[in-house]
Amino acid sequence: MSTTLICVVEDDPIMGESLADRFRLEGFDVDWHTDGESAFDALQTRPYQAVISDIRLPDISGEDLFSRSAATHTPTPPFVFITAYASVDMAVSLLKSGAADYVTKPFDIGALVDKVRLLTGTGIPDQAMPAQSELGVSEAMRRLAELVPRVAGRAKSILITGESGVGKEVLARFIHLHAPGDAYPFVAVNCGAVPETLLESEFFGHERGAFTGADRQKKGYFEQAEGGTLFLDEIGDLPLSMQVKLLRALQERRITRVGGERELETNFRLVCATNRDLAELVRIGKFREDLFYRINILQLRVPALRDRPDDVLWLAHRFVRDIAGRLGEPTKLFHPSAEARLATYGWPGNARELQNRLERACIVCSRNMLFSSDIFEEDGAQAAAVLDMDTPLDGYMAACENAFIRAALLQHQGHISETAHALGISRKSLWEKMRKHAIAAEPLQ
């Protein structure tokens, strides 16, 4: 199958490299030009299917590039312009002249990829998915699990976004396991937990005697992650002063320990995570734009648990197995009332809240079966609030049926005949219910 060739016109080396890397990861062929004249010459001979161009270029403007290209006899591919907020009026004018679209800085590269896919007709059709993955059974998590092995060893940096407690570090470790060098270290750093006065020493390391109390040489996070993965959690909490130093280390792949004189080469895979809107932080001046584009070559978002309720029981069963293994006890079972409560609770604390509630229940409960009251120990009034009392009975029953069918499918490895027999219904009835709840399963061989 032939690939789609696009033209990127961007003089900023960080943004240009980020755009080119991301589109290549997405399966496009990319020509990257740093000036308008070279791009114009290429447009006369190369079969581009789309052009992504900054409006401000070092020689001619993006507007001139577009108008000159449109004036030639060569068919003009769709143009998508990159612009600052101050140039939006110009971008709108270009749309009236025939340009396809524009994006304003800072922008989401993933959204730009989607725009180009629509313009070039290269949207990837949905395919049948397995009933479960290593990350979950919901469609969103199955797609992530499918994507990671393809990009883990190719992307220079990956940004994971999502609310607190959704499992961003779990995804980061999954990326590490599917990338070359998985036997090397995985170094996790909570950027918000390191005191600002120690940031440079912790990241870069220090030599003996570099400051009071430095009684020995110490390797920093960059060196500790050599050959492996450096995971920077909550990178949005890094102060601007440290952002500058981090950007330089990422660009040059060289560091100098505090108090040292010799530069050291570094080689690690960078995975960052945040629960904050980095684009908004860039807009208000609290996060460097160049660092944003350096780390945002590929962004993976982990949805909140309330947005992927299919994963709740799957996670719950995994958590109780892990807890039982740690405690050296038999794995506890769930009473149907507990499964119903788990499936319909809103989980404001996401997977972390689910794990904490189950750990407490497994430790406190002496029975081998967990009831809803073991997991939700709130008093009567609070317990009533656990279930959304505004949810109609039909919705509650549908959620319970969905969860029960998914649990049965997992137990029987997605085999439809076995699952239908266990549920006491026909294959046809099971298929109808699966279509009703949008449940995908492995077909029988």
* pLDDT band for position 387 (cuts 50, 70, 90): very low
Among the four given CATH numbers 3.30.1700.10, 3.40.50.2300, 1.10.3720.10, 3.30.565.10, the one describing domain 5-120: 3.40.50.2300
The kind and range of the H/E element at 363 are: helix 350-364
CA dist 416 and 164 (Å) reads 36
More confident residue, 395 or 359: 359
**Dihedral sign, Cα of residue 235, residue 236, residue 241, residue 245:** positive
At 292-324, the pLDDT tens digits run 999 998 999 999 999 998 899 889 989 999 999
3-state secondary structure of 271: strand
When the pLDDT of each residue in the chain is averaged and rounded to a whole number, the result is 84
At 195, which amino acid appears?
P
More confident residue, 264 or 443: 264
At 178-233, the pLDDT tens digits run 988 667 899 999 998 999 888 988 999 888 877 777 778 889 899 999 999 999 99
Q: What is the mean pLDDT of residues 404-427?
A: 75
pLDDT at 433: 79
CATH architecture of the domain 139-303 equals: 3-Layer(aba) Sandwich (3.40)
Q: What is the mean pLDDT of residues 404-421?
A: 74
CA dist 228 and 254 (Å) reads 16
Is residue 239 reached through a cis peptide bond, with omega within 30 degrees of 0 on the bond before it? no
The kind and range of the H/E element at 104 are: strand 101-104
Instruction: Give the best-scoring range by mean pLDDT among 89-103, 139-153, 160-174, 336-350.
Output: 160-174
Q: Whose CA is closest to 123, among 260, 194, 225, 26?
A: 26
DSSP track, 255-312: E--BT--S-EE---EEEEEESS-HHHHHHTTSS-HHHHHHH-SEEEE---GGG-TTHH
* pLDDT band for position 139 (cuts 50, 70, 90): confident
CA dist 422 and 266 (Å) reads 55
As beta bridge partners, residue 158 has: 271, 298
pLDDT at 127: 32
Percent of the chain with pLDDT over 90: 44
At 245-274, the pLDDT tens digits run 999 999 888 988 888 888 899 889 999 999
Give the number of C-alpha atoms closer than 13 A to the C-alpha of residue 10, restricted to the C-beta side: 22
Asked whether the beta carbons of 271 and 230 are under 8 A apart, the reply is yes
For the chain, report the end-to-end CA distance as a whole number of angstroms. 28
CA dist 433 and 27 (Å) reads 36
CA dist 186 and 301 (Å) reads 20
pLDDT at 406: 72
pLDDT exceeds 70 at position 376: yes
At 84, which amino acid appears?
A
At 153-180, the pLDDT tens digits run 888 899 999 999 999 999 999 999 998 8
pLDDT exceeds 50 at position 366: yes
pLDDT at 383: 42
Contact partners, residue 148, CB within 8 Å, separation at least 6: 171, 174, 175, 178, 300
CA dist 51 and 101 (Å) reads 11
More confident residue, 234 or 118: 234
CATH number of 306-411: 1.10.8.60
CA dist 19 and 25 (Å) reads 10
Q: What is the mean pLDDT of residues 420-442?
A: 73
pLDDT at 445: 37
Asked whether the beta carbons of 419 and 434 are under 8 A apart, the reply is no
Entry pTM? 0.69
Q: Are 5-120 and 306-411 the same fold in CATH?
A: no
Give the range among 91-95, 257-261, 386-390 with minimum mean pLDDT.
386-390
User: Can you tell me which residue has the tokens 């298929």?
Assistant: 431
Cβ burial, residue 127 (10 Å; 0-12/13-18/19+): exposed
Report domain extents, the chain: 5-120, 139-303, 306-411
pLDDT exceeds 60 at position 276: yes
